[in-house]
Structure 1
Amino acid sequence: MAKSANKEAASGTTRLVAHLVRAFRKREGLTQEELGEMLGYSAAAISALETCAQPPSDEMLIRLEAVIGDGLGVFEAARELVRLDRYPPQFQDFAELEKTALAVSSYQPLVIDGIFQTLEYATALISGSFPPHSDLRVVELVGGRIARQSLFDRDPVALIELVVEEAVLTRRVGTEEVMRAQLLCLLSYARRRNVTVQVLPPNRGDRTDHVGLYGPLKLVETPAHERLVYLEVQDEGLLISDPAKVSMYSQRYAKIRAQALSPDESLGLIQELAGERQ
């Protein structure tokens, strides 16, 4: 059932789409039930859309464009804006860069990197956010995170690197079954030709130059061969383009990667933790 909280938290894009659907529907002299039949949805679904109780799905926007869009392309244009709404505000700029990136390198000391997460792991992680998200927002955020995995199969292919702390692989998020499935998923990605996964063991703290203690970071190379850095902590995101700072963070990442296990050693450790290696 639609919740009033969903209506109050609706984004500007959702409100605009709701207004356009209502205006276009009335212009065509259609009831909510009639429009729903034309789109393959119930009248309740159309009502939820027009009152902002439920944001439009990508499929619904495609059908709206075909049925009442009148060739204007407004619902097609809304698809990208609605997609961005599924991400936290601080992440939206980076999400756009990541989608077209030539290369993405990530160091994660706390959780599995978002593009490697299973649906269940992402759901458990996002459901545990504080302050808590509404059920609808959890679904939106999880959907946005899973959608980012299209990067793995994109043409042209993207080169993807992940250095992850070993503690992340043993830190329980969700049930034991969720964690094992997540490790198996990580193994599957690690075996791809365009993906490199390395594990950073805990004993690297024995050395005084363990630069991973500064926290997580992401490096991205754009189609224009521009190199950028994205940092996120406590729900605050920072996108860095200054060449000197990007160089410093790139050197820091290179040091972290050099201290990690090799890709083959990392694969073996993940297999062992997942119970796939005797």
Structure 2
Amino acid sequence: MARAENKETVGPAARMVASVAKRLRLKKGMTQDQLGAEMGYTGAAISAMERLTQPVSDEMLVKLEEVLGDGTGIFEEMRELVRLEKLPEQFRDYAPIEQKAVGLSLYAPQVIHGLFQTEEYARALIGGGYPPLPEARVEELVEARMLRKVLFEREPTCLIELTLHETALRWMVGSEGIMRDQYRLLAECARRKNVTLQVLPMDAGLRGENAGARGEINLVETPTHHRLVYLEVQDESVLITDPAKVSTCAQRCAKIRAQALDPRESLGLIERLAGESG
């Protein structure tokens, strides 16, 4: 449902979309109902987008381009800006880097990594955080997180190595049904040719080794084959580009993978958890 308070939090990119869409609609002599009918939306949805009481979705931008764009690509160009605007502020500098990466080495110690989350898992995780967020903002963040998944299908291929601590698998988020679907998605991802998924087991530290004790790591290889690290904690983030510090994180990632179950064992564990939650 559209809410008036959403208008106060709408960013400049979404405001530009609303303004341009309204101008082009009027130029074509279309009512909101007529535009909505051609796009597959209600007139009320078009009104809410133009009045900034409902965030414009990525799907709506695609339809706006088809109906109003006239081959100019204007709404297509706005899609990336709107996507970035919907992301948490601390993530915006990193998001374009992630989407252009040719390689990712990831370690997620507490919850499933955002790239690998189902929509319902993400919604339960984001919606259950503190301080609580408005429903519309939760949906914005969920949509933005799901759009990151284009990285899996993108050309050139991005090679992704993900190590999950077993804690992230066993920490229940939302419901057993949500977790079951999450396990199934992880199993599907693990079978992708460009994905290596491993699990760092609970007992990995019994031998006195625990390379993952210092928290999450997002190690990125850029198209120019430079490496950097993105870290985030308590809604604060940092991008590390210093070669020595990046090297330390890369070594740490390698050690974490060495201490983890191998990919086949990891997939077996995930499949067992999916069966147990079924």
SS at match of 1:245: helix
Comparing 136-145 and 225-234, the one that deviates more: 136-145
Alignment partner, residue 239 of structure 1: 239
1:260-271 alignment to 2 at 5 Å?
260-271=260-271
Aligned residues: 276
1:253 correspondence with 2:253: yes
CA offset at residue 238 of structure 1? 1.2
Counterpart CA distance in 2 for 1:148 and 1:91 is 12
CA offset at residue 216 of structure 1? 0.5
Counterpart CA distance in 2 for 1:238 and 1:157 is 26
Residue by residue, what CA displacement relative to the aligned partner does 1:23-67 show, whole Å, maximum 9, x if unpaired? 333444443334334444322122101110112223332333344
Residue by residue, what CA displacement relative to the aligned partner does 1:174-224 show, whole Å, maximum 9, x if unpaired? 111211221122112112222111111122223444231111011111111
User: What one-letter code is carried by the residue in structure 2 that aligns with 1:32?
Assistant: Q
Alpha-carbon spacing, 1:50–1:169, altered in 2? closer, same or farther (3 Å): same
Alignment partner, residue 274 of structure 1: 274
1:1-278 alignment to 2 at 5 Å?
1-69=1-69, 72-275=72-275
User: What one-letter code is carried by the residue in structure 2 that aligns with 1:88?
Assistant: P
| Contact persistence 2:104–2:220 (CA under 8 A) | yes
CA offset at residue 234 of structure 1? 0.6
| Structure 1 vs Structure 2 CA RMSD | 1.9
Q: TM-score by structure 2 length?
A: 0.91
Alpha-carbon spacing, 1:38–1:179, altered in 2? closer, same or farther (3 Å): closer
CA offset at residue 273 of structure 1? 2.2
Alpha-carbon spacing, 1:181–1:32, altered in 2? closer, same or farther (3 Å): closer
Counterpart CA distance in 2 for 1:71 and 1:274 is 46
| Contact persistence 2:180–2:274 (CA under 8 A) | yes
SS at match of 1:230: strand
Q: TM-score by structure 1 length?
A: 0.91
Counterpart CA distance in 1 for 2:224 and 2:134 is 39
CA offset at residue 165 of structure 1? 0.8
Counterpart CA distance in 2 for 1:67 and 1:268 is 48
SS at match of 1:231: strand
Residue by residue, what CA displacement relative to the aligned partner does 1:66-88 show, whole Å, maximum 9, x if unpaired? 44346654322211111222321
Counterpart CA distance in 2 for 1:39 and 1:267 is 42
User: What one-letter code is carried by the residue in structure 2 that aligns with 1:219?
Assistant: L
Percent identity over the alignment is 55
Counterpart CA distance in 1 for 2:202 and 2:63 is 51
Structure 2, gaps ≥5 residues long: none
Residue by residue, what CA displacement relative to the aligned partner does 1:76-118 show, whole Å, maximum 9, x if unpaired? 2211111222321211222211212111111011001111111
SS at match of 2:115: helix
Structure 1, gaps ≥5 residues long: none
Residue by residue, what CA displacement relative to the aligned partner does 1:245-273 show, whole Å, maximum 9, x if unpaired? 11111111111111111112212222222
User: What one-letter code is carried by the residue in structure 1 that aligns with 2:261?
Assistant: L
| Contact persistence 2:121–2:174 (CA under 8 A) | yes
User: What one-letter code is carried by the residue in structure 2 that aligns with 1:241?
Assistant: T
